[in-house]
Amino acid sequence: MIDSKFMQLAADAARKGTDTWSNPQVGAVIVNQHQTLAVGYHHQYGHRHAEIDALSQLDEISQAKGATMYVTLEPCSHYGKTPPCAKRLAEVGIARVVIGQLDPNPIVSGKGVRILQDHGIQVKVLNDSLGLNVAYNFFYQYQRPLVTLKYAMSLDGKTNGPKNERTMLTATAAQQDVQQLRSRQQAILVGEHTLSVDDPRLTVRTSEMVFPPIRAVLVHHVDEIERHRHLLDQAAPTWVFSETPSTRELPVNVQVFTDPHWTPRGIVQFLANKGIQSLLVEGGSHLQADFIAANLVDDVVIYVAPKMLGGTGLPAAIGQSLTAQTHFEKPTISLLGSDVRIQTRRV
C-alpha cells in the first residue's frame, strides 16, 4: 500500500520527461522513514537517468544511506551514455529498492536486479501497471514499433470533403490533443495523397522538442517532396520512402530510402531495424487500409466531429478487404470541446 503510493509519485515524475526519444520515461523517489527526501526523473534522451537525478536532489548524498528508492524501471547495469545506476545506488548506501517493472531491454533485463542483490540491497519488484513506456515495452516484446492509426472523421464517416481539398473537421481541443499524440511518437507517416491534399507539416508545435518525431512520407517519386518545402526545413528529420532514388541533393535532415515495392510490413520492419519504437499513421485512407489489411494496427485514436459531409467525400480507411475482422478492446471515450475522441488497443 505504502509502496504503491510512493511508486505512483515516481510514475508522476516519470511523465514529466517528455523528450526521452527511444529512452524510457523513468521516475525515482528516495524515501526514509516514510519521508520523501527526493524526487527525480529522466529529463531528456542522453541525460542522466532518473535514479541519479533523484540522488542529485538530496541535500546531502549521505541521506541516501539506509534509504529506500522507488524507481519505475529496473536500474540499469550497463555503461551506456552514463555509468550503471545499480552500482551507484550500492555505492551511496541505498538499502532497499522497489522497482515498478523489470527492464525489457536485453542490455539490462534482470542484470540490474542482480547487481543490487549482489551488493546486499533488498529488492522488490511490484509489476504494477503504471501505464508508462507502452511503446518501449512493445518494441522489446515484438521487435517492431507500436503502430497507432489516427484519423478525424465526420458523423457520416468521411475524412475529407468531395473536392479533394483539406477539410478541417475538428476544433482546437482535438487539434491540441493530436499535438500531444504526435509528441509521444518517434515517427509519423503519411502517404502521397495526404501530402498533396493536406500538405501537413507533421510537426509538434505545442512544445519545443530536441528529439521531435521523424516526418515519414511514402511517395512514388522522390521529387514529390520538392512540392512540400516545409518538409525540407530543419524542424525535424524527414524520411522519404520512395520508389525512386533522389537525383538532386537534399538537405542533411532529409533521407531517402528506395524500394520499388514499399509495403506497410516493409516500412515497419525498416523502422524496427532503425530502433524506432512507435509509429503514428496519420493518413490517408488508402495507407490506413493497407496497414489494417497487413494486421499492423495496434492502437487507434479517432476523432469524430459533429458534422455531416455527405456526398462523395473520402471515407476512413478504404481499400483492400480483410479476411477476418480485427478486434479491439473496450474503447476509452472522451469529449474534447464538441469532438469525440475514441481510443482503443488491439485485443
| Residues with a known catalytic role | 51
Q: Binding residue per annotation — 182?
A: yes
Q: Which does 24 bind (CB under 5 to 8 A by kind): ligand AOF, Zn ion, none?
A: ligand AOF
Q: Using CA atoms, how far apart are residues 268 and 33, in angstroms rounded to an integer?
A: 48
Q: Quote the DSSP letter at residue 225.
A: G
Residues 6+ apart with CB under 8 A from 249: none
φ and ψ at 39, to 5 degrees? Answer: -130, 135
Q: Which does 194 bind (CB under 5 to 8 A by kind): ligand AOF, Zn ion, none?
A: none
Name the amino acid, one letter, at 279. Answer: L
**Of 33-41, 74-82, 234-242, 314-322, which part binds Zn ion (CB under 5 A)?**
74-82
Asked whether position 49 contacts Zn ion by CB under 5 A, the answer is yes
Asked whether position 85 contacts Zn ion by CB under 5 A, the answer is yes
Q: Binding residue per annotation — 76?
A: yes
Grid cell digits, residue 253: 535532415
We find the least distance from the C-beta atom of residue 28 to ligand AOF, in angstroms, to be 7
* Closest residue to ligand AOF in the complex (CB): 80
Q: Which residues bind ligand AOF (CB under 6 A)?
A: 23-24, 26, 42, 49-50, 73, 76, 80-82, 85, 103, 105, 108
Asked whether position 97 contacts Zn ion by CB under 5 A, the answer is no
Q: Which does 42 bind (CB under 5 to 8 A by kind): Zn ion, ligand AOF, none?
A: ligand AOF
Instruction: Give the residue with the Cβ less far from ligand AOF, 24 or 284.
Output: 24
We find the least distance from the C-beta atom of residue 76 to ligand AOF, in angstroms, to be 4
Q: Binding residue per annotation — 72?
A: no
Q: Quote the DSSP letter at residue 252.
A: T
| Surface-to-core class of residue 192, CB atoms within 10 Å of its CB (0-12 exposed, 13-18 middle, 19+ buried) | middle
User: What does each C-alpha distance from 180 to 79, 170, 219, 289 come to in angstroms?
Assistant: 32, 15, 26, 24
Asked whether position 64 contacts Zn ion by CB under 5 A, the answer is no
We find the least distance from the C-beta atom of residue 131 to Zn ion, in angstroms, to be 21
Q: Binding residue per annotation — 202?
A: yes
Residues 6+ apart with CB under 8 A from 71: 10, 26, 27, 28, 29, 50, 51, 54, 97, 98, 99, 100
Asked whether position 76 contacts Zn ion by CB under 5 A, the answer is yes
φ and ψ at 222, to 5 degrees? Answer: -60, -30
Instruction: Give the residue with the Cβ less far from ligand AOF, 83 or 162.
Output: 83
What stretches of the chain show up as alpha helix (H) in DSSP?
A: 2-14, 50-56, 85-91, 111-118, 134-142, 172-183, 192-198, 264-273, 285-293
Q: Using CA atoms, how far apart are residues 220 and 6, in angstroms rounded to an integer?
A: 52
Q: Is 217 helix (H, G, I), strand (E, B) or coil?
A: strand
We find the least distance from the C-beta atom of residue 297 to Zn ion, in angstroms, to be 33
We find the least distance from the C-beta atom of residue 219 to Zn ion, in angstroms, to be 40
Instruction: Give the residue with the Cβ less far from ligand AOF, 4 or 82.
Output: 82
Residues belonging to the binding site for NADP(+) are 152, 194, 198
Residues belonging to the binding site are 49, 76, 85, 152, 182, 194, 198, 202, 205, 282
Residues belonging to the binding site for substrate are 182, 202, 205, 282
Binding site residues, Zn ion, CB under 5 A: 49, 76, 85
Residues belonging to the binding site for Zn(2+) are 49, 76, 85
